[in-house]
Amino acid sequence: MPPHQENRSYPPVALVTGGARGQGAAHVRTLAESGYSVYACDVLDSAGRDCVRGMQSEGLDVAYQHLDVTSEEDWGQCMELINQAHGCLSTLINNAGVMHVTPVHEESLDAWNQLISINLTGAMLGARAAIPLLEASSRGSIINISSIFGAGGALGYSAYAASKAGLLGFTKCVALELAPRGIRVNAVCPGGVSSPMNALEPSGGVVSETPLGRRAEPTEISHVIEFLASAKASFMTGTEVFVDGGYMAH
């Protein structure tokens, strides 16, 4: 079957890290609504279980699984669970992330290491753990959630921007490595999105530099992810897609 046609185990299976709230929860819902069996993974177990319970009550095929993206052991357990249940994984969404705003002269090594370990190393651990199951799906893809700050800077965002720029380089290299195994790897770079991460941010910040004049709703990012994960994006790998209301057009 040509790669642009659907050739997927049914149901296709997705894993979304940071799936307990914010954009991750929106990605879980959107993928489930389009027919995926979705694992929402997070360290916020109570919020994650509540979120998933609500979707299950609507008939969506979703499950919650505790997963700290910095833990090799957690990744191993999660892949074993999915292997037992489905034998393959269609899509890994490396969405978990944290942010802090600190001028570099005040940055602490612990805070820096923790952010890099979640935002960047977590995506590497996930990709590495998922390769066998992605390959087994024959339509596997990885989507790394970067940011407009992966391509440009902002005052105080050095750790965050370094992690998100790192994800873009990681995406390209892994796309090259995994193309022969039939696994596509792409990045999505959201602009400002309404979520708990930026709830305390002054609304002027990114919005004032966004031509569309507002933050995105999380589902506006989810729809791009749904497309990238689908066979409609079968010739896309090693690239990044900005979903930023025109921010990068400046």
Ligand X SMILES: NC(=O)c1ccc[n+]([C@@H]2O[C@H](COP(=O)([O-])OP(=O)(O)OC[C@H]3O[C@@H](n4cnc5c(N)ncnc54)[C@H](O)[C@@H]3O)[C@@H](O)[C@H]2O)c1
What residues contact 145, with CB distance under 8 A and at least 6 apart? 23, 93, 94, 95, 97, 167, 187, 188, 190
Contact with ligand X (CB under 6 A): which of 9, 34, 56, 70?
70
Q: Return d(Cα 221, Cα 36) in angstroms, integer.
A: 17
Binding residues for ligand X, total number by CB under 6 A: 29
Token digits for 190? Answer: 């959201």
Q: Is 154 in the site for ligand X (CB under 6 A)?
A: no
Residue 89 in tokens: 């994984």
CA distances from 227 to 104, 159, 224 (A): 37, 30, 5
State the nearest-atom distance from the C-beta of 27 to ligand X, in Å: 9
Active site annotation includes 10 = no
What is the Cα–Cα distance from 63 to 38, expressed in whole angstroms?
6
Q: How far is the CB of 228 from ligand X (least distance, A)?
A: 15
d(CA 54, CA 56): 5
Among 17, 137, 210, 230, the residue binding ligand X under the rule CB under 6 A is 17
Considering only 102-110, 133-141, 191-199, 224-232, which stretch makes contact with ligand X by CB under 6 A?
A: 191-199
Q: Is 143 in the site for ligand X (CB under 6 A)?
A: no
Query: Can you give the binding site for ligand X, defined by CB under 6 A?
Result: 17-18, 20-24, 42-44, 67-70, 95-99, 118, 145, 147, 190, 192-193, 195-198
Which residues does the annotation mark as catalytic? Answer: 160
